[in-house]
Structures are given as structure tokens and as C-alpha cells.
């Protein structure tokens, strides 16, 4: 595991066989060298758009082109990453602007139109129609037909009541003595029946008849 085996994995003939780390170098220094070389290879890949390196973690094999390392490439990589990040962010910005233009703004316009124009029209138009047409129609119908008919019926019933009231009073005065006469005849007949039963000695039946007479 101290050596890294390199084999030619690309068509590029300039292959440098890199053998890290040496025994007298610490692990952190060797990792730093590998990271530095990795940065160089990554920059070469962005510049040439060719697979200038291959990394296999299990076998720990590294392949890269034999090109002198330039430390200025790290700043160029930072600029490239910054430009890439700005490009990606710009895409999302444009997508948000496009979404706002195509979706959000039309929805807000439609909502404003519905809330400011359509909704008041839908609410106020039936009220205006009812206030200007329906209520006057029912008011005229009531004042023209229902109210006069009600007044006519009330006056007619009152007229009939006052007209027939003397006749009803006269009818009551005439038939009330007849009713009293029939009541007295009934009582006298019951009294006669009770006296006959008393003469026959039927005391119990006489008492029952007496009770019935009292109830009548």
C-alpha cells in the first residue's frame, strides 16, 4: 500500500508514473501532495475537456498527464467554480423570473380581477335587482291585491257579525225559556218515577235513582 501503481488508461502518451508517499514523509504531507495533484488534474480536465486523470479508490491508482504544475491554476479553478456557481444561480434566477411572469403574475392579475370586479358584480347585481324589481313588484302586488282583499274580508265579517248579532240575541231570548221548560219537565218526570219506586219498597233502587236525579 506504500506505492501507487499507474497504468496507461488513456490515449495520451505523456504519462507520468507518480509514486507517493516515501517512507520519510508523514501521512498528512503525502495527503496534501495527493490533494494538490488532484487539484491540478481537475484543472486540466476543465481546460482540455479530456479524461486527464483516473482515480480508483479501491486500488488507489492515479493517472494524469505529464504536465508541469502551476500554482496559479488553483486561483483559476476558484474563478471557474465561481463562474460555474454564478451560471447555475443565474439559471435559477431566470427560472424564477420566468415562473413569476408565466404563473405568479397571471394568477395575481386573475385574483385581483375576480376580487375587484367579478366578486362585487356577482354580489351587488342580485341585490340591485331585488331592490329595484322584486321588492317593488311584491310591494305593489301586496298593496294592490292582498291588502285590499284582506281589508274587504275583515270589514265584511265585521258587518255580518254586527248585522246578525240582534237576531242571535233574539233567538237566544226566545229559546232559553223553552230549554228551561224542558228541563223542569224532565226533573218532574224523574221525581215521579222515584216516588213510584219508593211506594213499591225498592229502597236500593230508589237511592240509585235519587243519585241519578241529583246528577241530572
d(CA 63, CA 45): 12
d(CA 190, CA 180): 16
In-domain check, residue 78 = no
In-domain check, residue 52 = yes
| Per-residue pLDDT tens over the stretch 15-66 | 444 444 455 555 567 667 767 766 766 666 666 655 555 554 554 555 554 4
Closest by CA to 212, choosing from 188, 194, 192, 197, is 194
Per-residue pLDDT at 196 exceeds 60: yes
| Per-residue pLDDT tens over the stretch 49-61 | 555 555 545 545 5
Question: What is the number of domains present in the chain?
Answer: 1
In-domain check, residue 3 = yes
In-domain check, residue 37 = yes
Per-residue pLDDT at 203 exceeds 60: no
Domain residues for the domain of 21 are 1-70
In-domain check, residue 166 = no
| Per-residue pLDDT tens over the stretch 143-164 | 888 888 888 888 888 888 888 8
Amino acid at each position: 500500500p506504500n506505492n501507487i501503481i499507474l497504468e496507461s488508461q488513456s490515449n495520451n502518451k505523456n504519462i507520468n508514473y507518480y509514486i507517493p508517499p516515501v517512507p520519510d514523509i508523514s501521512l498528512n504531507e503525502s495527503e496534501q501532495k495527493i490533494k494538490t495533484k488532484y487539484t491540478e488534474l481537475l484543472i486540466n480536465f476543465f481546460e482540455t475537456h479530456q479524461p486527464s486523470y483516473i482515480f480508483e479508490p479501491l486500488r488507489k491508482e492515479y493517472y494524469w498527464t505529464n504536465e508541469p504544475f502551476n500554482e496559479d491554476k488553483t486561483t483559476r479553478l476558484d474563478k471557474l467554480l465561481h463562474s460555474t456557481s454564478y451560471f447555475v444561480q443565474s439559471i435559477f434566477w431566470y427560472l424564477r423570473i420566468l415562473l413569476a411572469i408565466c404563473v405568479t403574475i397571471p394568477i395575481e392579475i386573475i385574483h385581483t380581477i375576480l376580487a375587484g370586479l367579478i366578486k362585487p358584480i356577482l354580489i351587488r347585481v342580485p341585490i340591485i335587482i331585488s331592490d329595484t324589481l322584486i321588492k317593488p313588484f311584491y310591494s305593489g302586488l301586496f298593496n294592490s291585491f292582498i291588502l285590499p282583499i284582506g281589508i274587504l274580508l275583515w270589514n265584511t265579517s265585521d258587518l255580518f257579525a254586527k248585522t246578525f248579532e240582534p237576531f242571535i240575541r233574539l233567538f237566544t231570548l226566545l229559546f232559553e225559556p223553552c230549554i228551561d221548560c224542558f228541563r223542569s219537565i224532565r226533573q218532574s218526570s224523574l221525581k215521579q218515577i222515584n216516588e213510584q219506586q219508593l211506594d213499591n219498597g225498592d229502597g236500593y233502587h230508589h237511592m240509585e235513582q235519587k243519585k241519578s236525579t241529583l246528577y241530572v
